[in-house]
Amino acid sequence: MFKKVLIANRGEIALRVIRACRELGIATVAVHSTADSNALHVKFADESVCIGPPPAKQSYLHIPAIISAAEVTGAEAVHPGYGFLSENAEFAEMCERCKLRFIGPTPALMRLMGGKISARAAMVRAGVPILPGTGLLETDDQALTAVEEIGLPVIIKASAGGGGRGMKIVKDRSRLLPALEMARAEALAGFGNSDVYLERYVEAPRHIEVQIVADGKGGVAALGERECSIQRRHQKLLEEAPSVGLTDAEREKLLALCEKAIRDINYSNVGTLEFLYEPGHFYFMEMNTRIQVEHTVTEMVTGLDLVREQIKLAWGDPLSKSFQPGRFRPRGHAIECRVNAEDPVSFAPSPGRITALNLPGGFGVRVDTHIYEGYVVPPNYDSLLAKLIVHAEDRDAAIRRMRRALSEFVVEGVKTNLPFHRKLMDHPDFIAGRLDTHFLERFTPSA
């Protein structure tokens, strides 16, 4: 096993990786910007290296600084976490050139599944349904012709992107070309790549994703689905497993389809296949070739440590026996609330010093966080403060447990979206499982 791993990330995911490494007897190296000098991942790692000033481009996205930190500390491998460089094939290649093991899939697989157009083509070859759409749009005429064939509404998407950037919904043909121009500009600014494509737009789908793990040697496990329909501007706020919207037969079919697809592309390490679902139909959207923020809900309903498995697979171990019992069956129900430093109404970021903190606990409650009383939330990064996860015997019990845990969660000094989550737990449509990706657009807090 590796003797030392560098974690090319920050916040709660850096701590999550440190804990997994410690249980495997692996020393850890934390990298940090000057804004994160007092962060918990810096305090808890065995070593730490400052790699630059607060802007991410000069620190957490600065590949030469991260590679140098790994070399001077004698790290053998790099865990990228999520976000930042986690799906950057060039970074993975640079790690390989410098004889550092990248804890993730190969650069070739990252390119195949990271490009939305190439990923769609790979899934078609594997027999996975996709929405009617196009390849790369090189001219306006191609877009106009495609709309005639697909029909309206359509959605324009950035080939290299995600998180809603470079994404435009078009319901009127006269708005197609202006929307196309805006999408290309946003894609170029956000990802350095202006390539876009079209898909048929599904009006009220569920967002369902499947956690997969594979060793590249024939060992593949699809560990069930997560429901991620509660989102704002394509940013997830709550996830749960399993989805209340699927029948057992649909679940069986989806997981079998995902396992076949992963074998067909000979994938290795962890990943997530994301789908839009409307009654009776799944449509592949994209694949994330990394650990997800919401991997925790899958861990809670399987009892399996996904981050530890990532590290073991990167070392070259075959898929652990505990991941190979056959078709996944969820054990109870898990819900995750993302607790962000933001205004609960406007969702505007709220950096600053945390003056008081109480974390919930008790049976079936897990909190993954990097915050502490006195911690200063910097304005430079994602606003995620903590992930509150509960597990119970069924969904109703999980909702009750989440209500209780949210009532115990206290953060003072910065605004958070805790009030939003408390109201959500009492919303009749959420309780009934009547969910789709536009839920928040019609969200009205219950009395």
Structural domain count, the chain? 3
CA dihedral 368, 374, 380, 382 (to 10 degrees): 20
pLDDT of the residue at 79:
98
Contact 375, 38 (CB under 8 A): yes
Taking Cα atoms as reference points, which of 16, 365, 422, 404 lies closest to residue 238? 422
157 and 256 both lie in a single domain: no
78 in a structural domain: yes
| Residue 368 and residue 262 share a domain | yes
Could you tell me if residue 115 is inside a domain?
A: no
Q: 226 and 87 in contact (C-beta within 8 Å)? A: no
Does 81 score more than 80 pLDDT?
yes
Residue 192 has pLDDT above 90, yes or no: no
What distance in Å separates the CA atoms of residue 120 and residue 435, rounded to the nearest whole number?
26
Q: Do 50 and 156 have their domain in common?
A: no
Q: Model confidence over 410-419: pLDDT tens digits?
A: 999 999 999 9
Is 123 a domain residue?
Answer: no
What string of DSSP letters covers 206-246?
A: EEEEEEEEEESSS-EEEEEEEEEEEEETTEEEEEEES-TT-
State how far the Cα of 416 lies from the Cα of 394, in Å rounded to an integer: 28
Is 445 exposed, middle or buried, given 0-12, 13-18 or 19+ CB atoms closer than 10 A? exposed
Average pLDDT along the chain: 95
Q: Is there a domain that residue 92 lies in?
A: yes
Dist. CA 313–CA 439, nearest whole Å: 38
Verify that 420 and 374 share a domain, yes or no: yes
- Strand ranges in 8-121 using DSSP code E only, listed in sequence order: 27-33, 47-52, 77-79, 101-102
- Same domain for 176 and 219? no
Residues 377 and 235 in one domain: yes
For residue 228, being part of any structural domain is answered with: yes
**Contact call for residues 422 and 403 (beta carbons, < 8 A):** yes
Q: Is the pLDDT of residue 100 over 70?
A: yes
Domain of 170, CATH number, reads 3.30.1490.20
Distance of CA 299 to the CA centre of its chain: 14
Q: Tell which residue, 157, 171, 330, has the closest CA to residue 234.
A: 157
Q: Which of 91, 94, 88 is nearest to 110 (CA)?
A: 88
pLDDT at 446: 55
Within this chain, do residues 64 and 185 fall inside the same structural domain, yes or no?
Answer: no
The reply to whether the predicted model has a pTM over 0.85 is: yes
Contacts 24+ apart (CB under 8 A), 65-68: 65/31, 66/6, 66/8, 66/31, 66/91, 67/94, 67/95, 67/98, 67/100
Residues 6+ away with beta carbon under 8 Å from 21: 5, 27, 28, 79, 311
For the segment 151-160, the average pLDDT, to the nearest whole number, is 92
Residue 309's alpha-carbon distances to 8, 23, 49, 212, 222, in angstroms, are 18, 12, 26, 12, 14
Q: Range of 344's domain? A: 206-442
79 plus 172 within the same structural domain: no
Residue 197 Cα distances to 121, 132, 143, 192, angstroms = 13, 11, 8, 16
Same-domain pairing of 433 and 298: yes
Paired strand residues for 31: 49
Question: Is residue 187 situated within a structural domain?
Answer: yes
The mean pLDDT of 65-71, rounded to a whole number, is 98
CB-based contacts of 220: which residues, under 8 Å, 6+ apart? Answer: 212, 213, 214, 259, 262, 263, 267, 319
pLDDT value at 327 more than 70:
no
Contact indicator for 61, 85 with CB cutoff of 8 Å: yes
Angle subtended at Cα 59 by Cα 54 and Cα 62, rounded to the nearest 5 degrees: 150
Residue 390: its H or E element = strand 384-392
261-305 pLDDT per residue, tens: 999 999 999 999 999 999 989 999 999 999 999 999 999 999 999
Evaluate whether residue 185 is within a structural domain.
yes
Is 325's pLDDT higher than 70? no
Residue finishing a domain among 157, 182, 200: 200
Residue with tokens 């810096």: 42
Give the residue numbers marked as catalytic. Answer: 290
Do 240 and 168 share a domain, yes or no? no
Domain of residue 67, CATH code: 3.40.50.20
* Alpha-carbon separation of residue 133 from 141, 174, 205 (angstroms): 15, 19, 17
- CA neighbor of 327 nearest in space, from 245, 244, 251: 251
Work out the average pLDDT over 349-366: 98
Residue at 109 is within a domain: no
Q: How confident is the model at residue 447 (pLDDT cuts 50, 70, 90)?
A: very low
Q: What is the pLDDT of residues 131-140, one digit of tens each?
A: 999 999 999 9
The DSSP symbol for 182 reads: H
Of 174, 200, 226, the one marking the end of a domain is: 200
CA distance 355 to 283: 46
State yes or no: pLDDT of 163 exceeds 60. Answer: yes
Q: Are residues 63 and 153 in the same domain?
A: no
Is the pLDDT assigned to residue 328 strictly greater than 80?
no
Q: Within this chain, do residues 172 and 41 fall inside the same structural domain, yes or no?
A: no
233 backbone φψ class: left, alpha, beta (φ>0; ψ -120 to 50): left
Q: Which CATH number belongs to the domain containing residue 223 in this structure?
A: 3.30.470.20
Q: How far apart are CA 344 and CA 337, in angstroms?
A: 13
